[in-house]
Structure 1
Amino acid sequence: MFNEEMRSEKPIRWAMVGGGRGSQIGYAHRSSATRDGHFQLVAGAFDIDANRGRDFGVNLGLDASRCYADYLTMFAEEAKREDGIQAVSIATPNGTHYAISKAALESGLHVVCEKPVTFTVVEAEDLKRIAKAHNRIFGVMYGYTGFQMVHQAREMIKRGDLGEVRVINMQFAHGFHSEEVEKDNPGAQWRMNPEVSGPTYVLGDIGTHAFYLAQLMTDLDVDTLCCTRQSFIKSRAPLEDNAHVLMQFTNGAVGTLWASGVNAGSMHQQKIRIVGEKASLEWWDERPNQLSYEVQGEPARILERGMGYLNNDDSAVSSDRIGGGHAEGFFESWSNLYSRFGIVMKAADREDQETVNSTWYPGIDAGIEGVRLLERCVDSADNDSKWVKYHE
């Protein structure tokens, strides 16, 4: 069971860039970060409209003087204060992530950033170098990886319950953008603008979530891949609203990734299915408290979160916040991640590298692999879906 007594140290003084009024993701960050006492929101640069951002921050209970017009001003002014910010979360469009993250790290701040963290692997690796040089934690908000049954799957695969992994099917395919919703939806507009979103739409926006979940569960590395992508809403070209990726892994396994915003009628359909030589596992984010475990020749079984037959000695699985049978969901997953971010940030500040190294959290390496996937998929799709090496 989750240990709420971990809040033995003062909360980290924390700020946000982006995530202002009307932002669902901004609310998710604030609700999850502050839940367990690891973080306290004290400042923000919430909006490109300074007045609107200040009004929003004041309504959150912040001092108006700490609601800034832009992130550079915030970093500079907060650095002058004895009680200045120690960490920042970045919830802005993709094209701004690199510059904001770089400035934050160079200002001595820990960072939690939305994904994809950058447009290129070179930029992402640069952030890793800067974070290491300043002894700062860089967390990437792969928000679904805080679910306990994802880590249950990871432990079962590591233990050999499936035997050698043969097939990995990944998908995140919703239907909310099956029409040209971006005409009237600012949140959709920037996702479909290559200058802001980057070289992909659905692959970067949702495909990277499914890909990282599979990476986390299996620890397998991609050898080669090929990608085909489409813009069924023609105005979205050159960005795709549907994509299929074939993968070959270094252990001989094969995989598929389907990312789509035009799967009409679908809510999420984010499913990860791992097929081994003896058994298979399947996790679906719309039923996150359950894990399907299917052993060849035996009845299929559903494993439930919070039950004693799970790997409760594992620190991720034992983050249950309430007993089995009660539904935990999206905010619990995010809170589990922010709790881990808080633990490693505090450990880094006191130079406790052992705790940093022994605590799992989605860090900059996870961010780098997400960007690498996008680069390789674009390279393949834009060259007649040729097979490309994952690591150049």
Structure 2
Amino acid sequence: MFNEESHLKQPIRWAMVGGGRGSQIGYSHRNAAQRDGLFKLVAGSFDLDADRGRDFAVNLGIDGTRSYATYKEMFAQEKCRDDGIQAVSIATPNSTHFEICKAALEAKLHVICEKPLTFTTDEAYVLKALAAENNCLIGVMYGYSGFPMIHQAREMVRRGDLGDIRVVNAQFAHGFHNEEYEKNDPSLKWRVTPAASGPTYVLGDLGTHTHFLCEMITEMEVESLCCMRQSFIKSRAPLEDNAHVMLKFKGGAVGTLWASAINSGSMHQQKIRIVGSKASIEWWDEFPNQLRYEIQGEAPRVLDRGMPYLYQDDQGVSCNRIGGGHAEGYFESWANLYARFAYAFNAVAENDQAALDSMWFPGIDAGIEGTRLCEKCAESADNGSQWVNFKD
């Protein structure tokens, strides 16, 4: 069970860039960060409209003088305060991530960033070096990786319950953008605009989530891939609203990844199936408290979150916020990640490398691999769906 008695000496003083009024993602960050009292929101640059951003900040209970017109102003002003911010979350369009992350790290702030982290892996490696230089951490918001049953799946693979991993089938395929809704939806418009979104749409928006979960659960690295992508809504070209990726993993396993926003009638359909030589497991994010476990020759079984027959650890499986049988969901998963970020940031502040080394959280390397997925899929698809090496 999540330990609600575990606290920091002082909450981490925290700010946001983006995520202003009406932002679902902004609310998700704030809800998760402040749920356990580990972060305190004290400043922000929430909106391109400074007055609207200030009004929003005041309504959140933030001192109006600490609502800033730009992130650059915020980093400069907060650096001069004795009670200045220690960390920042970035919930802005993809095209802004690199520059904001870079500025935050140069201001010696820890960063939690939306994905994909950057447009290119070269940019991501610049951030990695800058973070190391300034003794800062970068967390990437792969929000589904906080679900306890994802960690149960990972532990089952580690312990050999499935045998040798042979096949990984993954998908994140909703239907909410099966028509040209971006005509009247600014929050979607930037996602299908290359200058703001980068080289991909659904691969970056959806595929990165599922790819990260696959690598996290199996701990296998992609060796090469072949991508086919389409723009079924023609105005979205060259960005895809549907993509199929074939994967070869180091060690001989193979897999597929389907990312789509035009799967008409589907809510989410984020599913991961791991097939081993002895058994298979399958997780579906619309039923996140369950993990289907199928042993060859035996009746299928469903494992439920919060039950004593699950593996117990301090890294994820045991991080339940309520007993088994009750539904835990999206906000709990996000809060589990923010708790990890908080303890990691605190370990840096206390120069406790041993504690930091013992922690798991989606960090800079996870961000690099998500960016690499987008790059390599675009490279493959734009060259006749050729097979390309994942790492040159």
CA distance, structure 1, for counterparts of residue 48 and residue 336 of structure 2: 30
Counterpart residue type for residue 159 of structure 1: R
Q: Deviations over 1:291-342 (max 9, x none)?
A: 0000000000000000000011343111101100000000000000000000
CA distance, structure 1, for counterparts of residue 178 and residue 229 of structure 2: 15
Aligned to 2:216: 216
CA distance, structure 2, for counterparts of residue 138 and residue 9 of structure 1: 22
Conserved 8 A contact 2:305-2:325? yes
Aligned to 2:128: 128
Q: Deviations over 1:121-165 (max 9, x none)?
A: 000011011111111111000000000000000000000000000
Q: Does 2:78 correspond to 1:78? A: yes
Aligned to 2:159: 159
Tell me by how many angstroms 1:355 deviates: 1.1
Q: Deviations over 1:176-206 (max 9, x none)?
A: 0000000001110000000000000000000
Q: Does 2:5 correspond to 1:5? A: yes
Counterpart residue type for residue 257 of structure 1: L
Q: Does 2:104 correspond to 1:104? A: yes
1:274-313, aligned counterparts within 5 Å? 274-313=274-313
Structure-2-length-normalised TM-score: 0.99
Counterpart residue type for residue 225 of structure 2: L
1:238-317, aligned counterparts within 5 Å? 238-317=238-317
1:62-73, aligned counterparts within 5 Å? 62-73=62-73
Q: Percent identity?
A: 66
Aligned to 1:339: 339
Aligned to 1:376: 376
Tell me by how many angstroms 1:64 deviates: 0.7
Tell me by how many angstroms 1:60 deviates: 0.5
Aligned to 1:390: 390
CA distance, structure 1, for counterparts of residue 387 and residue 296 of structure 2: 33
Counterpart residue type for residue 93 of structure 2: P
Tell me by how many angstroms 1:350 deviates: 1.1
Aligned to 1:180: 180
Aligned to 2:354: 354
CA distance, structure 1, for counterparts of residue 314 and residue 138 of structure 2: 23
Q: Deviations over 1:251-291 (max 9, x none)?
A: 10110000000000000000000000000000000000000
Q: Deviations over 1:203-249 (max 9, x none)?
A: 00000000000000000011111000000000000000000000111
CA distance, structure 2, for counterparts of residue 73 and residue 302 of structure 1: 52
Counterpart residue type for residue 297 of structure 1: G
State the secondary structure of the residue aligned to 2:52.
helix
Aligned to 2:226: 226
CA distance, structure 2, for counterparts of residue 8 and residue 344 of structure 1: 11
Counterpart residue type for residue 177 of structure 2: H
CA distance, structure 2, for counterparts of residue 8 and residue 212 of structure 1: 29
Counterpart residue type for residue 200 of structure 1: T
Aligned to 1:25: 25
CA distance, structure 2, for counterparts of residue 250 and residue 83 of structure 1: 48
Structure-1-length-normalised TM-score: 0.99
CA distance, structure 2, for counterparts of residue 14 and residue 99 of structure 1: 19
Conserved 8 A contact 2:226-2:388? yes
CA distance, structure 1, for counterparts of residue 324 and residue 24 of structure 2: 28
Q: Deviations over 1:87-119 (max 9, x none)?
A: 000000000000000000010100000000100
Counterpart residue type for residue 196 of structure 1: A
State the secondary structure of the residue aligned to 1:380.
helix
CA distance, structure 1, for counterparts of residue 48 and residue 101 of structure 2: 17
State the secondary structure of the residue aligned to 1:182.
helix
Q: Does 2:85 correspond to 1:94? A: no
**Regions of 4+ moved over 2 Å:** none
State the secondary structure of the residue aligned to 1:318.
coil
Conserved 8 A contact 2:8-2:346? no
Q: Is the deviation greater in 310-319 or in 371-380?
A: 310-319
Aligned to 1:56: 56
Counterpart residue type for residue 74 of structure 2: M
Aligned to 1:330: 330
RMSD over aligned Cα atoms:
0.6
CA distance, structure 1, for counterparts of residue 105 and residue 284 of structure 2: 35
Structure 2, unmatched stretches of 5+, are none
CA distance, structure 2, for counterparts of residue 349 and residue 265 of structure 1: 48
Tell me by how many angstroms 1:52 deviates: 0.7
Counterpart residue type for residue 51 of structure 1: D
